[in-house]
C-alpha cells in the first residue's frame, strides 16, 4: 500500500491510497465531523496518518475473497441513507425551529398555556361501586345533615374537621388548595367554578362520594411561564416542520414497484 504525500503542484490532494486521491476538503470534513481540533501540524499529521491507514485497510479488505462484500455494501448503503436523512433533517430543523420561532409561537398561542384555578374546601362522604343502595342513602343522609348543620352554625371548617371522610383535607378545615379546572371529576369542577366566594354547595355526587364544597378564593387564570413550556413547543414545531419537509421531499420523487 503506497501512501505518498503529494507536493505543492497539487495542493487540493493530501495523499493517495492505491491511486485514490485523498483531498484536503475530505480530510477537513472528517475532522469537523469528529469534532477533532487540529491544534498543531504534528497533531494534524498524526490524525492524517490514522485516516489514511483506515482508507488503505478498507481498500484492501474490499478485495479479500473470504469477506462477504455484498453484505458489507448493503450495511454501508443503509448507513449512508440513515446518515443522509438524519443529518439533513438535523440541519433543516435547526434552521427552521429557531429560538425566535419558539417564542413567537408561545406569544401567538398564549391561551393554550393558560389554566383557570380556584381555591376550594370540601367535606366528603365516601361511596364506592360495591355499596348497597341502603349504604349510599345513609351517606347521602349524613351529607344532608352536615349541610344543615353548616347552614345553622355557619362553621364549615369545624364540620369538615369532624365529619369529612377525606381526613387529609379535613384536618385543614376541608381546604383542598388551588385546583385546576377539570383536574378532578367534571361535576366537581363545574360546581366549584360556578359558586361565588364564600358560597357553599348543597350535597352533590361524584365517583368519590357526596361532596359539600365552599369556594375560598375566586377563580384566577394562570399562564405557564415560557421557560416551562419552551421544550414542548420546540418538540411540537420540529415534528410539524419535519412532517411538512418530508412530504415535500417525497413529492419530488417517483417510486415504482415492479
The DSSP call for residue 113 is: G
Residue 38 is predicted with a pLDDT of 67
Residues 186-243 have pLDDT tens digits of 999 999 999 999 999 999 999 999 999 999 999 999 999 999 999 999 999 999 999 9
Give residue 121's region: left, alpha or beta (phi > 0; psi -120 to 50).
Answer: beta
Work out the pLDDT band at 3, boundaries 50, 70, 90: very low
* C-alpha span between 62 and 75 (Å, rounded): 14
Residues 146-170 have pLDDT tens digits of 999 999 988 999 999 999 999 999 9
Q: Which domains does the chain have, with CATH numbers?
A: 1-67 (no CATH), 115-223 (3.10.50.40)
Work out the pLDDT band at 6, boundaries 50, 70, 90: very low
* C-alpha span between 26 and 116 (Å, rounded): 58
- Residue pointed to by grid coordinates 355557619: 154
Q: Please tell me the number of Cα atoms within 13 Å of 15 on its side-chain side.
A: 17
* C-alpha span between 228 and 113 (Å, rounded): 10
* Single pTM value for the model: 0.59
Confidence check: pLDDT of 1 > 50:
no
Confidence check: pLDDT of 34 > 90:
no
Which of 72, 88, 77, 174 has its CA nearest to residue 123? 174
Amino acid at each position: 500500500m503506497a501512501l505518498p504525500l503529494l507536493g505543492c503542484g497539487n495542493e487540493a490532494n493530501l495523499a493517495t491510497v492505491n491511486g485514490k486521491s485523498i483531498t484536503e476538503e475530505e480530510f477537513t470534513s472528517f475532522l469537523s465531523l469528529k469534532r477533532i481540533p487540529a491544534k498543531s501540524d504534528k497533531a494534524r499529521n498524526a490524525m492524517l496518518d490514522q485516516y489514511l491507514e483506515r482508507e488503505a485497510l478498507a481498500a484492501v479488505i474490499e478485495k479479500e475473497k473470504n469477506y462477504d462484500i455484498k453484505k458489507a455494501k448493503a450495511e454501508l448503503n443503509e448507513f449512508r441513507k440513515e446518515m443522509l436523512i438524519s443529518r439533513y433533517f438535523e440541519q433543516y430543523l435547526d434552521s427552521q425551529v429557531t429560538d425566535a420561532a419558539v417564542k413567537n409561537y408561545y406569544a401567538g398561542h398564549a391561551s393554550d398555556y393558560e389554566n383557570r384555578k380556584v381555591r376550594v374546601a370540601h367535606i366528603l362522604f365516601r361511596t364506592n361501586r360495591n355499596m348497597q343502595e341502603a349504604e349510599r342513602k345513609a351517606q347521602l343522609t349524613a351529607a344532608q345533615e352536615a349541610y344543615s348543620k353548616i347552614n345553622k352554625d355557619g362553621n364549615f371548617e369545624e364540620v369538615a374537621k369532624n365529619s369529612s371522610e377525606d381526613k387529609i383535607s379535613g384536618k385543614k378545615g376541608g381546604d383542598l388548595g388551588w385546583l385546576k379546572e377539570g383536574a378532578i371529576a367534571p361535576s366537581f369542577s363545574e360546581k366549584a367554578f360556578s359558586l361565588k366566594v364564600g358560597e357553599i354547595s348543597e350535597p352533590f355526587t361524584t365517583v368519590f362520594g357526596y361532596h359539600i364544597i365552599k369556594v375560598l378564593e375566586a377563580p384566577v387564570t394562570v399562564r405557564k411561564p415560557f421557560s416551562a413550556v419552551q421544550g414542548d413547543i420546540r418538540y411540537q414545531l420540529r415534528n410539524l416542520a419535519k412532517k411538512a419537509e418530508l412530504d415535500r421531499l417525497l413529492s419530488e420523487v417517483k417510486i415504482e414497484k415492479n
